[in-house]
């Protein structure tokens, strides 16, 4: 297998069939702080450092999440993970446990009355990229007695200070939830094959699972017997089957929940999945990965990012702003018109 580094977060794999597949995470695919800055890091012009402010930000967000901790169901499997195959096996077992738990009547309910599990790992293939990500909350149930049971996806965003959400923050979170919708649906309707994805990652489907992992899954009631899953490929099929019970049931109603540390409440942003919006956004991003367009600097509304950017003194965007010239955008980003729900 030939491996070529395209960037820090996006790689190209030439598989045995010579089909070019890139892999990335939902976060890298969707929400770069600034494409131009990302490009400077990827090309080695800048060296990425974890600043004190970034460390503080991570701590603050963990604290906020704790304040608002919701009684969502968790499946925890704790074993020393030694290999990449062990790591993927653990993720798949936890995902399987959560997908089984969500239909149980005894599971924790969200304030909307839906059975809810948090942090569900998803996998998929979008615009030529293999993509992985974690959706914050997955709800299952009926919103009213006349509705059929459905899956409801929700993203959780933590904020420091006032609960003021800008349009660009909302747009980024909405796109993220729409990507999770596509990943969940692809797994549920079988248009995305989890075993094929794992094979592309170089994992061996016929390899037996780590016995310590099976033991931990048994203790967590994720499986009923260690002989239930003979190898990694069987685990992948089991997880895909668990997703397929929700085929045609993933609601197009999506939600982002914003919470802050000032305890001034929770804000919900509800909107409808839109294939046209997400396709137009993804094809624009993929053009960047394929090097068919140049990375863009931040728009004028996000010029605050340049004040804390290490590349600022040399960046053509800040030079233009200082000289009062139009920003040197090489191409226009797509216009995205979301459908909001009240
Ligand atoms: S100075 Fe601004 S536009 Fe330039 S790389 Fe940094 S954040 Fe991006």
Pairing verdict, β 115-126 and 266-272: unpaired
Ligand 1 contact via 36 beta carbon (within 6 Å): yes
- Return the sign of the alpha-carbon dihedral for residues 29, 30, 35, 40: negative
Mean residue pLDDT of the chain comes to: 79
Lowest mean pLDDT among 173-182, 202-211, 230-239, 308-317: 308-317
Rounded to 10 degrees, the C-alpha dihedral 206/103/132/181 comes to 140
Question: Rounded CA gap, 86 and 105, in Å?
Answer: 31
State mean pLDDT over 235-253.
Answer: 96
**How many Cβ atoms are within 10 Å of 308's Cβ, its own excluded?**
10
Asked whether the beta carbons of 303 and 321 are under 8 A apart, the reply is yes
Angle between helices 167-189 and 232-244 (to 10 degrees): 110
Rounded to 10 degrees, the C-alpha dihedral 199/204/206/210 comes to -130
* pLDDT beyond 60 at 145: yes
pLDDT band at 304 (very low <50, low <70, confident <90, very high): confident
Lowest mean pLDDT among 1-15, 87-101, 168-182: 1-15
pLDDT band at 19 (very low <50, low <70, confident <90, very high): very low
Question: How many angstroms does the Cα of residue 54 sit away from the middle of ligand 1?
Answer: 17
pLDDT band at 13 (very low <50, low <70, confident <90, very high): very low
What's residue 16's pLDDT?
32
What's residue 327's pLDDT?
61
Question: Rounded CA gap, 82 and 245, in Å?
Answer: 32
State mean pLDDT over 293-303.
Answer: 80
Q: What is the DSSP letter of 332?
A: P
Residue with the nearest Cα to atom 7 of ligand 1?
306
Residue with the bigger pLDDT between 259 and 326: it is: 259
Question: Rounded CA gap, 158 and 62, in Å?
Answer: 9
* pLDDT beyond 70 at 237: yes
Question: How many angstroms does the Cα of residue 174 sit away from the middle of ligand 1?
Answer: 24
Q: Find the farthest-apart pair of alpha carbons in the chain and give their distance in angstroms, rounded.
A: 69
Q: Mutation test of ligand 1: which of 41, 168, 296, 305 has the most ligand atoms closer than 8 Å to its C-beta? A: 305
Question: Which residues sit opposite 266 in a β-bridge?
Answer: 259
37-55 per-position pLDDT tens digit: 888 887 776 666 665 666 6
* pLDDT beyond 70 at 63: no
Q: Mutation test of ligand 1: which of 48, 294, 309, 327 has the most ligand atoms closer than 8 Å to its C-beta? A: 309
66-112 per-position pLDDT tens digit: 555 544 556 666 777 678 899 899 999 999 999 998 998 877 777 77
Question: How many angstroms does the Cα of residue 49 sit away from the middle of ligand 1?
Answer: 16
**Closest Cα to residue 131, out of 176, 97, 80?**
176
What's residue 17's pLDDT?
31
- Is residue 199 classed as helix, strand or coil in its secondary structure? helix
- Is residue 295 classed as helix, strand or coil in its secondary structure? coil
Ligand 1 contact via 321 beta carbon (within 6 Å): no
Rounded to 10 degrees, the C-alpha dihedral 114/116/121/122 comes to -10
Domain that holds residue 237: 2-341
* pLDDT beyond 50 at 15: no
Cβ neighbourhood burial of 327 (10 Å; 0-12, 13-18, 19+): middle
Ligand 1 contact via 89 beta carbon (within 6 Å): no
Number of residues that make up the chain: 342
What's residue 171's pLDDT?
87
What's residue 72's pLDDT?
54
Q: Mutation test of ligand 1: which of 31, 303, 315 has the most ligand atoms closer than 8 Å to its C-beta? A: 315
% pLDDT > 70, the chain: 77
Count how many domains the chain has: 1
């Amino acid at each position: 297998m030939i491996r070529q580094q395209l960037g820090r977060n996006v790689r190209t794999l030439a598989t045995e069939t010579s089909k070019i597949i890139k892999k990335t995470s939902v976060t890298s695919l969707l929400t770069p702080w600034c494409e131009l800055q990302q490009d400077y890091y990827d090309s080695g012009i800048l060296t990425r450092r974890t600043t004190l402010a970034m460390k503080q930000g991570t701590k603050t967000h963990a604290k906020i999440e704790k304040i608002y901790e919701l009684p969502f169901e968790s499946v925890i499997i704790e074993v020393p993970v030694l290999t990449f195959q062990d790591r993927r096996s653990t993720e798949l077992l936890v995902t399987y446990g959560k997908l089984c738990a969500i239909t149980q009547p005894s599971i924790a309910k969200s304030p909307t009355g839906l059975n809810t599990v948090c942090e569900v790992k998803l996998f998929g293939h979008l615009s030529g990229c293999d993509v992985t990500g974690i959706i914050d909350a997955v709800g299952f149930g009926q919103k009213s007695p006349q509705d059929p049971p459905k899956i409801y996806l929700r993203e959780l965003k933590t904020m420091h200070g006032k609960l003021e959400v800008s349009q660009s923050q909302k747009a980024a979170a909405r796109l993220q939830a729409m990507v999770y919708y596509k990943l969940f649906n692809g797994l549920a309707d079988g248009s995305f094959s989890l075993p094929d994805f794992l094979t592309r990652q170089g994992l061996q489907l016929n390899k037996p699972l780590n016995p310590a992992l099976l033991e931990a899954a048994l203790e967590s009631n994720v499986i009923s017997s260690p002989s239930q899953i003979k190898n990694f490929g069987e685990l992948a099929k089991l997880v895909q089957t668990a997703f397929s019970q929700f085929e045609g049931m993933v609601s197009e109603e999506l939600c982002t929940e914003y919470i802050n540390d000032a305890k001034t409440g929770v804000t919900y942003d509800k909107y409808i999945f839109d294939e046209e919006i997400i396709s137009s956004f993804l094809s624009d991003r993929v053009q960047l990965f394929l090097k068919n367009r140049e990375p863009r600097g931040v728009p004028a509304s996000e010029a605050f990012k340049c004040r804390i950017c290490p590349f600022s003194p040399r960046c053509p965007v800040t030079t233009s702003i200082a000289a009062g010239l139009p920003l040197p955008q090489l191409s226009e980003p797509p216009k995205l018109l979301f459908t909001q729900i009240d």
